[in-house]
Amino acid sequence: MRSLDRNYLSTHTSGSEKAVVSLSVAVPTGVDVPANPDGTRPRITLNATGVTYTLVLAALQHLHEDGDGLLQELIADVVTDEDLEAFSSLEEAAPLLTERVHAVTSPFRTFEWSAELTLESADGRQEESSVDFELISPSLGVGVPATVAMTTPQMLTNVAISFSPKVEDDDDYERNEVLVVS
């Protein structure tokens, strides 16, 4: 049996230690990138760091729900204001934006950003905290859809379970059952 302990996730980590969640997925085969030295397909990696696992998981859930917003936030990393000054409208700049968003680089690019979140604690207090993200991808056009795919509710539930403490007495339960502990 596996467990999902909501109290544990909302109180850990402790002290100055940060909660870190790393997710990765293979680069789609349609993207022309060289294989790793061992012959495996390179991976797109998303790292998220925050005060507690609950905070990090909430931020990852938000990324899943707002992939378009993520693309808009990160597009400044591939297109500068100077690039856009040559155009009188965004419609005219669309070919440049498309080209830059889908341009594949090797070594992969690293996109970094932060998100501020407000969570309500068990006693009803509102707490603000930030989560730092790092996306390593061959292009923004591949990285954003990969981020959305890596942060589905099922994936995040599996991540939450993986960080929860194991339940010792599980003889009466099947391997695929989950005990939710509040």
- How far is it, in rounded angstroms, from Cα 93 to Cα 87? 6
* Residues contacting 82, CB < 8 A, separation 6+: none
Mean pLDDT of 156-175: 67
On the CB side of 127, CA atoms within 13 Å amount to: 14
Residues pairing with 19 in the sheet: 50
Residue 138 has pLDDT above 60, yes or no: yes
Nearest alpha carbon to residue 54 among 3, 120, 133 = 120
Query: Helices 67-74 and 140-150, interaxial angle, to 10°?
Result: 150
133-171 in b/e burial notation, b at 16+ Cβ within 10 A? bebbbbbbbbbbbbbbebbeeeebeebbbebbeeeeeee
Is beta strand 178-181 parallel, antiparallel or unpaired with respect to 2-5? parallel
How high is the pLDDT of residue 167? 61
Strands, DSSP E only, in 79-108?
A: none
Which of the four pLDDT bands, split at 50, 70 and 90, describes residue 182?
very low
pLDDT tens readout for residues 33-80: 998 999 999 999 999 999 888 889 889 999 999 988 898 889 988 998
Tokens of 83: 């690039």
How high is the pLDDT of residue 17? 79
14-39 in b/e burial notation, b at 16+ Cβ within 10 A? eeeeebebebebebeeebebeeeeee
Mean pLDDT of 100-128: 86
Mean pLDDT of 4-11: 62
The gap from C-alpha 86 to its chain's centroid, in whole angstroms, comes to 34
- Residue predicted with more confidence, 167 or 113: 113
- Residue predicted with more confidence, 49 or 170: 49
Mean pLDDT of 137-155: 94
Residue 176 has pLDDT above 80, yes or no: no
- How far is it, in rounded angstroms, from Cα 170 to Cα 180? 13
- How far is it, in rounded angstroms, from Cα 125 to Cα 122? 7
- Residue predicted with more confidence, 17 or 92: 92
Residue 10 has pLDDT above 50, yes or no: yes
